Structure 1
Amino acid sequence: MISELRITNLGVINSATIELDPGLTVVTGETGAGKTMIVTGMGLLLGARSDPKAVRTGAGQARVEGAFTAPDRTTRARVDELGGELDGDELLVARQVTSAGRSRSWVGGAQVPVGSGSAVVEELITIHGQSEQLRLTSPDRQRELLDAYAGDSVSESLDGYRQRYAERQQARAELAELTEQAQSRAREIDLLRFGLAEIEKIDPQPGEDVELAAEATRLQRSDDLRQSAAAAMVALAGGEDEAGGAMSAIAAARKEIETLAATDPDAEKLRSRVQDLSYALTELTSSAADYLDGLDAEPGRLEQIAERRSELATLTRKYGSDCDEVLAWAAEAASRLGGLESGDERIDELTARIAGLDGELAELAGRIGAARREAAASFATLVEAELAALAMPHARLSFAVTETELGPHGADAVELLFSANPGSEPRGLGKVASGGELSRVRLAIEVILAAESGNRGTFVFDEVDAGVGGKVAVEIGRRLSALARRAQVVVVTHLAQVAAFGDRHYVVVKADDGQVTTSGVQRVADDQRAAELARMMAGLDTTDSALAHARELIETADRARTAKPVRARRKKPAKAG
């Protein structure tokens, strides 16, 4: 239940506070006084689209705050998830709209996305304005109302249906994409297979191109290398046709030193050193000879390298700048190819899954349709009884439930058929009902749904009495009063017959400057209330006769709302299944 609503800088309202209690609260005021801003403010708490033009002229921002008492466990849990806190047993919710179009929302003191804030409030308040009256003519809204009345008999099957329907839609979308891309997928498979086969045939190795380039460079310089190696051999061992070289010189030096060592012990150290040098020179000469022989060990190797590098170049032109990149492409291509080749298998899987889901959906849709048809008869009977009490004794109303293709809400088309007068064939509600008739149908449905569901939240009605007056207005007031026995009801009205049923009465009065201040939202009772009702009826300065008429209207309302309303009894629809 909402206990207080504070509005600042919204429309013509400068600052206003209205305290709300259980039962029926009526809000009245002259045209343009801003009484509908109360509904607009509650709509902002419910997440309505913010309109910068709604900010009072000259103000930078508008703000609406609502205080809710004793929220249920589910609401408390949502507030806790959002990081908000309750103030004792009270929940504070706020919405702020700037003249630049920015919007903010708070729940329990925590700033939250507007959608999150509205999700909390929409469980607490239901607003019925002119837009809801227009929605009543839509088949979707008529189906929602029928499902709400049917309760578990529809909702239990509908929950499972919607889950499977969403899965089916997802599978169909994937299947359509796979089927549409079949040709491009086949072309890509051929390209990938060709590339992988070409790479497999050549069989490049990691870093092979780099190694071959280095070897080719070395082989291309082999002539220079052989000349240098041969010169080194001549210097070390001498030529084939001439003596000399380092080895010959060392051998001669060694012979002379050994002669010295044989006669002079002091020359022994020289002999040892010349021997070491002779051995080292012999090893060096052998290594140089091996190197020279190695340069001529693989004749034709350079041609082999050139041929292999040419093969590798055919790959690096297409699949990467070097062998490593070519191998990386091959790994990615193999993975991609596996996914593409599984496309046909996936198509078969999806086709089978969709067929299975179609069967499950058809079965669930049959249960839902049967439950709707059973509920439709009972619901229509109750609405007709309410309409009879609202001065429409000849009204006929029925829900036409016809089979259609599978859709997101089942396989039914729901249309509310209506006839206000005897002899008239029932037709679509939006085609034949006047504004006043729509108001009464909407109120009758709401009263029934509230009674059947046990909804004890807050209902806000704006212009529910549009297009009616006299006895009908009295019956609307009585029905609103009956609804207020089970829930908190706030109604903005311009009819004294409706306002007379209020448990409390607020009047919105503009100041001389055209704005509504805190003192401009006044709670009236007794003589003040009678004066306001007299103004609403006569539209002139109150007179004794007008006041007497107003007091008589209040007494009539008191007697009417204490009378127990007569309603048809509902035949509870059986649960599907």
Structure 2
Amino acid sequence: MIEQITLRDLGVIARATLPIGAGFTAITGETGAGKTMVVTGLGLLMGARSDAGVVRSGADLAAVEGVWLVPTSGPVAERVADAGGEIEPVDDAHGELYLARTVTAEGRSRASVGGRSAPAGVLSDLADELVVVHGQSDQLRLRSAAAQRDALDRFGGQPVTSALAAYAALYDDVKTRTAELDDLIERQGERAREADDLRAALADLEQVDPQPGEDAELAQRAERLANAEELRLAATLAHAALSGDDDAPDIVTLLAEARRALERAAGSDAALAAHAATVEDLGYRASDLATELSGYLADLDESGPHELAAVEERRAAVGAIVRAHGSLEDALALRENGALRLAELDDDGDRVTRLGDEIAALRAELDAAASVLTAARAAAAERLSTEVTAELRALALPDARVVVAVEPGTATAAGRDDVTILLAPHPGAEPRPVARSASGGELSRVMLAIEVVIAGTGSVPTFVFDEIDAGIGGAAAIEVGRRLAALARSSQVIVVTHLAQVAAFANNHLSVVKASDGTVTASSVRALGGAEREAEMARLLSGLPDSEAALEHARELLSLGSEPAQA
């Protein structure tokens, strides 16, 4: 909901602040006072193309600022956050969103969203959620076929919503399975080659049967066998030094002698007993090491050139596996899981058949769901056509007829229907798309009729109508006012009007007045009430704000206009 709009150097407006608020706001004023500049400024805030022609003569730039009351969660808040802006919290659920737009005299434009500079496209994105403008420039909410279809679906309620949900689920299922089938068929050759390669790789793995860590273990064994003589010499010398078999002194014998010498002298000094124990432990360890070296030499003696050849042959086989798969771990993983992948690839033929059967069955269900959706839309379209046409009779378009056509179209996730809102402005006229068959004033009234009929079914909180009263007066204008007031019960409504019969139904009446120099200044926009509003209504009725007859008529209209609010 718009709380306030401020305009600076826009058209004839030098500076003006418009407090809007909830409900129905009527904006009136003398011809040329700049009423429609309000709509122009709002359009700039909603991302409309900038035009240097809107800048007031002599000014460097025009500026428009707006304050919206918006939910702190949902599409608007998400888009603002994406743009880097912020919403100022007001309560737990709502906050104020500040939007701004400037246009220089050279036509350059800048936009601000929630206090941060942003492309004008962000304003356009927000406009879809914030405001609907119907005016002389034909800024139609329902300008696209998709928007017209969505409006019909909202009006259709639960029958259409349920049918659309069922259809959309089936459509997505068919699309997913069809994509899977197309991929299978397109990649049949590639998958067949993958299966052959995988089969060969598994056969090699089965033949070689590598074990975890075997490549490293074989490398160690090959290194040992290749240097067996050097290892034998080193182990033999070490064994002889520890425990020799000849008369040469060895470590074990020398440690035994050292232990005995210390034990003999320990009686004179107890400290030597501890040293004797240490030497005894060294003797045991040296003896154990000598035994181990003896075993090591025995193993080397059993190895020979034939074993080295066998190890190198095994290394070659395992190495080929490693090179083929990148690592032994990857090869072992393939051996673990490859059979499942091969079974999947070998099943391609059967899968193609199964998927084809499943898709055929789903398409039959989809056809049935599409028919149900079309029938629900057709029923809703008939009701919408009847109700909007009835509204038009009260809006000074007694001979006009609206037809909501539901015709076969391209299949999408939203169904197989093209929805078009058509207007036959008079008997005998062929119904044509509403944007091409109505004048500016008629178009606004047609859109008002549609908005009133589907009021409460959409999420856009604000409607703006400009020149909705063109070409009407009297009782028809009163009915326009009534319907605007009805729409304002569920949404914020802003109307630029020159008819007292329309303005009478507003709960917020703003007047735009030119100053003596022809400009609109900060003091030129006033919220009217009491005698001031009666005088403005009288001026609208007769051009004479002081005419007693006009004032009496104004009071009568204001009394009439208050009735919907009391209902």
Q: Is the structural similarity TM-score above 0.5?
A: yes
What residue is the counterpart of 1:493 in the other structure?
496
Per-residue deviation at 1:40?
5.0
Q: In the TM superposition, what whole-angstrom CA distance separates every residue of 1:506-556 from its partner, at most 9, and x where no partner exists?
A: 223466899865423223423344446667xxxxxx799xx7997698589
Question: How many residue pairs were aligned?
Answer: 502
Could you tell me which of 100, 104, 112 is aligned with 2:113?
Answer: 104
Residue 16 of structure 1 aligns to a residue whose secondary structure is: strand
In 2: Cα distance, 1:41 partner to 1:296 partner: 99
Bigger mean CA offset, 417-426 vs 506-515: 506-515
Aligned equivalent of 2:118: none
Structure 1: runs of 5 or more not aligned = 69-74, 107-113, 238-244, 255-277, 536-541, 565-577
1:526 aligns with 2:534: yes
Q: Residue 66 of structure 1 corresponds to which residue in structure 2?
A: 68
Aligned pair in 2 of structure 1 residues 550, 136: CA closer, same or farther (>3 Å)? Answer: farther
Secondary structure of the residue aligned to 2:324 is coil
Could you tell me whether the CA contact under 8 Å between 1:530 and 1:550 is conserved in 2? yes
2:443 alignment partner in structure 1? 438
Instruction: Give yes or no for the alignment of 1:373 onto 2:411.
Output: no
Say whether the 8 Å CA contact 1:473–1:495 is kept in structure 2: no
Q: How does 1:240-389 map to 2 (within 5 A)?
A: 247=246, 292-299=297-304, 300-320=306-326, 322-324=327-329, 326-328=331-333, 350-389=355-394
Shift of residue 43 of structure 1?
8.8
Which digits, 9 at most, give the CA deviation of each residue in 1:439-491, with x for residues without a partner? 332233233334x97999754323434xx42xx35566323311144242634
Partner deviation per Cα, 1:413-432 (whole Å, 9 max, x = no partner)? 33334332333333444454
Give the 3-state SS of the residue equivalent to 1:413 in structure 2.
strand
Deviations 1:144-198 (A, max 9, x none): 3433443333233223333433444344344444443333333333333333332
Deviates more, 1:337-346 or 1:308-317: 337-346
User: Match for residue 416 of structure 2?
Assistant: 411
Q: What's the counterpart of residue 263 of structure 2?
A: none
Is the 1:500–1:554 Cα contact (8 Å) retained in structure 2?
A: no
Structure 1, 281-290 or 210-219: larger mean CA deviation: 281-290
Q: Which amino acid aligns with 1:410?
A: G
Distance in 1 (alpha carbons) for counterparts of 2:291 and 2:389: 120
Q: Which residue of the other structure, out of 424, 430, 436, is the alignment partner of 1:425? A: 430
Q: Kindly state the Cα deviation for residue 203 of structure 1 after the two structures are TM-superposed.
A: 1.9
Alpha-carbon separation, structure 2, partners of 1:449 and 1:234: 107
TM-score (norm 1): 0.66
Instruction: Give the Cα separation in 2 of the matches to 1:165 and 1:184.
Output: 29
Q: Residue type matched to 2:4 in 1?
A: L
Query: CA distance change for structure 1 residues 246 and 517 in 2, over 3 Å: closer, same or farther?
Result: same
TM superposition shift of 1:5: 2.2
Structure 2 residue matching 1:486: 3-state secondary structure: helix
Summarize the Cα distance change of 1:58–1:526 in structure 2 as closer, same or farther, 3 Å threshold: same
- Which entry has the higher C-alpha Rg, 1 or 2? 1
Per the alignment, in what secondary structure is the counterpart of residue 318 of structure 1?
helix
Give the RMSD, CA atoms, in angstroms: 5.4
The match for 2:4 is 5
2:465 matches 1:461: yes
Letter in 2 for 1:194: A
- Matched residue, 1:196: 202
Structure-2 separation of matches of 1:480 and 1:543: 23
Cα offsets for 1:84-127 (capped at 9, x unmatched):
86559x95432334768564349xxxxxxx89x969975xx654
The 1-side partners of 2:559 and 2:345 are apart by: 78
Q: What is the alpha-carbon distance in structure 2 between the residues aligned to residue 78 and residue 283 of structure 1? A: 80
Per the alignment, do residues 461 and 10 of structure 1 end up closer, same or farther by CA in structure 2, a change over 3 Å counting? farther
Q: Distance in 2 between matches of 1:499 and 1:197?
A: 88
8 A contact 2:26–2:497 mirrored in 1: no
Q: Is the 8 A contact 2:504 2:557 kept in 1?
A: yes
What is the CA-CA distance between 1:18 and the residue it aligns to? Answer: 1.6
Q: Shift of the alpha carbon at 1:360? A: 3.4
Distance 1:23 1:63, change over 3 A: closer
User: Aligned equivalents of 2:210 and 2:222: distance in 1?
Assistant: 17
- C-alpha deviations, 1:43-96, integer Å up to 9, x for none? 95xxx448788999878986422358xxxxxx79979x99986559x9543233
Contact 1:30/1:509 (<8 A) preserved:
no
**1:153 aligns to 2:159 (yes or no):** yes
Q: Distance in 1 between matches of 2:316 and 2:331?
A: 15
The 1:38/1:435 distance shift into structure 2, 3 A limit, reads closer
Identity of aligned residues (%): 32
Q: Which residue of 2 aligns with 1:26?
A: 27
Give 2:34's aligned amino acid. A
Which amino acid in 1 is paired with 2:317? E
CA distance in 2, matches of 1:236, 1:499: 119
What aligned pairs does 1:72-91 form with structure 2 within 5 A after superposition?
86-87=90-91, 91=94
Which region of structure 1 is more displaced relative to structure 2, 522-531 or 324-333? 324-333
Counterparts in 2 of 1:498 and 1:315: CA distance versus 1, 3 Å:
farther
